[in-house]
């Protein structure tokens, strides 16, 4: 027997029932983003490897351990499957001179790739919604993006998602803090793990982001960046907080929140939950004013965030949210030569009127077809035999108890079928 070929570990198929749930989620996302003036941008899955090394930082877990990188056999170019979306979005904005035209509010959805140990809520191929605002310098856009998250949780019917915020200040302030961190961690050198020792002199801020339980007490005692911030950075942070207070949005200042990417400055934030085990962050982001210039463009302020789709869907299921798409309106049953010819025209005519139709294919008698109609979840069966076809009529049968009794049926003309179906649907919605 020929062996089966399985999907790559950590890269999962999304089967039809699940994919319909994803479609419903994505429709909500698009509507939510449009209401804030964000426009879609579609980006390549493969980018030049130097893009991520320069943007994310070479001394990071993502670049050092997790990227799927390879050399193009045709031209020797170093390429990488994108591990995150911000770098590619900024690259596109620079390449196509978008920000020179006007400030941009952009979003994207799609697959990201990181080579890490698969576990619940963390996969090697995963999906993100990314939101980027380019060309806005004030704290108002930081606060708006945070409040966007709060609105989405309401739109999705989620609770138990808490907001944590922090500020990373500016480069000079982080330099002063960095020197104190190195000195502090050197005093505890014998307690540091391998990763912390490796990062001690290259990027000690990363140690604060360690998840190693053995390091948490040391980390709690480390010098705080917020104590090294100047008046301008603190004023920006205070302004963000004031907008959140005015909006009635609760938050916690977490001085150890540093994010895992080098390009952040000033405001950073995470939306977290305790309902997903270890993978508690469902949305995270912040300001990255230096990244556009870092990638070769002119200096442009920027702010953005990303959401893990798999984690949000898991949270929706845990909260008992709707996980199935609405069924089609009509299952079209037909038997006989004349009936089958008419059935095609009836199905297309109903679709012209905005009515969803599942057309029976594969033959079979009326009894077998009706079983499939009932199993489909459709609200109605439209039944056409040669007798109906000769009379220019169809039989309309209610399959669900939504205002009409299930199994109630009536003959209607082909021309009046769409009106009869739409009338029943409106009656159901009003009842």
Residue-wise pLDDT tens digits, 90-102: 999 999 999 887 8
Q: Mind listing the pLDDT tens digit for each residue in 170-211?
A: 888 888 888 888 888 888 888 888 888 888 887 787 788 787
Please tell me the CATH superfamily of domain 330-422, with its number.
Anticodon-binding domain (3.40.50.800)
- The domains spanning 16-169+229-318 and 330-422 adopt the same CATH topology: no
Half-sphere exposure of 136 (CA within 13 A, CB side): 19
Tell me if the domain spanning 16-169+229-318 has CATH number 3.30.930.10.
yes
Instruction: Please tell me the distance from the alpha carbon of residue 89 to that of residue 134, in angstroms, as a whole number.
Output: 10
Residue 315, Cα to own-chain centre: how many angstroms? 13
**Do strands 357-359 and 330-334 pair parallel, antiparallel, or not at all (unpaired)?**
parallel
Structure pTM? 0.81
Q: Mind listing the pLDDT tens digit for each residue in 316-328?
A: 888 776 555 567 8
* DSSP β-bridge partners for residue 48: 79
**Do strands 39-40 and 104-113 pair parallel, antiparallel, or not at all (unpaired)?**
parallel
Secondary structure letter of residue 398 according to DSSP:
E
Q: Which helix (H) or strand (E) segment is 204 a member of?
A: none
- Across the chain, mean pLDDT equals 88
Domain ranges within the chain, ordered by starting residue:
16-169+229-318, 330-422
Instruction: Please tell me the distance from the alpha carbon of residue 65 to that of residue 314, in angstroms, as a whole number.
Output: 26
């Amino acid at each position: 027997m020929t062996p089966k070929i399985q999907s790559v570990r950590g890269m999962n198929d999304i089967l039809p029932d699940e994919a319909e749930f994803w479609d419903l989620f994505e429709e909500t996302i698009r509507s939510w983003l449009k209401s804030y003036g964000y426009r879609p941008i579609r980006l390549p899955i493969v980018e030049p490897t130097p893009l991520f090394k320069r943007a994310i930082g070479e001394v990071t877990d993502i670049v050092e351990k997790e990227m799927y990188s390879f050399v193009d056999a045709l031209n020797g170019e170093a390429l990488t499957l994108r591990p995150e979306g911000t770098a590619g979005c900024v690259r596109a904005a620079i390449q196509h001179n978008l920000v020179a035209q006007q400030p941009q509010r952009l979003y994207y959805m799609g697959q990201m790739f990181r080579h890490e140990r698969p576990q619940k809520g963390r996969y090697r191929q995963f999906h993100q919604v990314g939101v980027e605002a380019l060309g806005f310098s004030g704290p108002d856009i930081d606060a708006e993006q945070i409040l966007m998250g709060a609105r989405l949780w309401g739109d999705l019917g989620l609770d138990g998602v808490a907001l944590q915020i922090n500020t990373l200040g500016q480069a000079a302030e982080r330099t002063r803090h960095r020197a104190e961190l190195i000195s502090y961690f050197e005093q505890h050198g014998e307690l540091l793990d391998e990763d912390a020792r490796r990062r001690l002199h290259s990027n000690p801020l990363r140690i604060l982001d360690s998840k190693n339980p053995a390091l948490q007490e040391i980390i709690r005692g480390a010098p705080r960046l917020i104590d090294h911030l100047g008046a301008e950075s603190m004023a920006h942070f205070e302004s963000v907080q004031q907008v959140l207070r005015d909006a009635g949005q609760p938050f916690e200042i977490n001085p150890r929140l540093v994010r895992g990417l080098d390009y952040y400055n000033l405001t950073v934030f995470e939306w977290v939950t305790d309902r997903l085990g270890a993978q508690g962050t469902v949305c995270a982001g912040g300001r990255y004013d230096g990244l556009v210039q870092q990638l070769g463009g002119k200096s442009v302020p920027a702010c953005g965030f990303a959401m893990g789709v798999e984690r949000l869907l898991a949270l929706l299921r845990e909260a008992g949210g709707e996980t199935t798409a609405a069924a089609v309106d009509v299952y079209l049953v037909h038997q006989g030569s004349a009936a089958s010819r008419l059935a095609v025209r009836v199905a297309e005519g109903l679709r012209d009127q905005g009515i969803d139709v599942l057309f029976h294919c594969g033959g079979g008698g009326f009894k077998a077809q009706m079983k499939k109609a009932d199993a489909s979840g459709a609200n109605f069966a439209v039944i056409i035999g040669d007798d109906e076809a000769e009379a220019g009529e169809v039989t309309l049968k209610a399959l669900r108890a939504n205002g009409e009794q299930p199994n109630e049926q009536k003959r209607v003309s082909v021309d009046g079928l769409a009106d009869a179906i739409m009338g029943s649907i409106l009656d159901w919605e009003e009842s």
